[in-house]
Amino acid sequence: MPDFSYNDVLPVSYSGGDSEEQDLQAAKRKKDLSSGTVGEEQINEVMSTSQRMRARILMKRNKFKLKIGRARAARRMADPERLKRRAARQARSAAIKRILKGKSKGSLPLGARAGLERRINRQASMISRTAKRLLPKVRAADRSKFKR
């Protein structure tokens, strides 16, 4: 029977490689899925039509699991990270509403929608300041769910 030490069976860390290629691959493996970043680089991909269709099928397949998850999440208090995301989403939608002046985003053609997204992304600092200002209201709204 071969003699193995504990270190022989540990997973290998590929970080700190010899080349930039290995470092890039290591960064991809450590990708932060919540923010869509790889290392310090922001990923900006638009879904193709076939990817969109596949996502639609997967969402339809997992519809009931998602419904149960939403019901469970509604019974729990939101963590600070989720509250920040909610505030950011509200700030973003308020900025979109202000730019569109009453028109719905869905009524815009695809090109105009992409232009709107670029314009909103340029206003990221303003949106983050607004989100920070909205955070107490979002927190209060979350707490008010449980005051019955």
Per-residue pLDDT of the chain (148 residues; tens, 9 = 90+): 566 666 666 565 555 556 777 777 777 766 554 455 544 455 567 788 899 999 999 999 999 999 999 999 889 999 999 999 999 999 999 999 999 998 998 899 989 999 999 999 999 999 999 999 999 999 999 999 888 6
Together in a domain, 147 and 135: yes
In a domain, 130, yes or no: yes
Per the structure, the complete domain to which residue 62 belongs is given by 47-76
Together in a domain, 132 and 83: yes
Task: Please give the tally of structural domains in the chain.
Answer: 3
Q: Which helix (H) or strand (E) holds 42?
A: strand 41-42
In a domain, 37, yes or no: yes
Together in a domain, 34 and 94: no
pTM attached to this predicted model: 0.58
HSE of 7, CA atoms in CB hemisphere, 13 A: 0
- Report the DSSP beta bridge partners of residue 37: 32, 42
How far apart are the C-alpha atoms of 30 and 25, rounded to whole Å? 9
How far apart are the C-alpha atoms of 97 and 102, rounded to whole Å? 7
Specify whether the CB–CB gap between 91 and 124 falls below 8 A: no
* Residue where one domain finishes, among candidates 76, 94, 129: 76
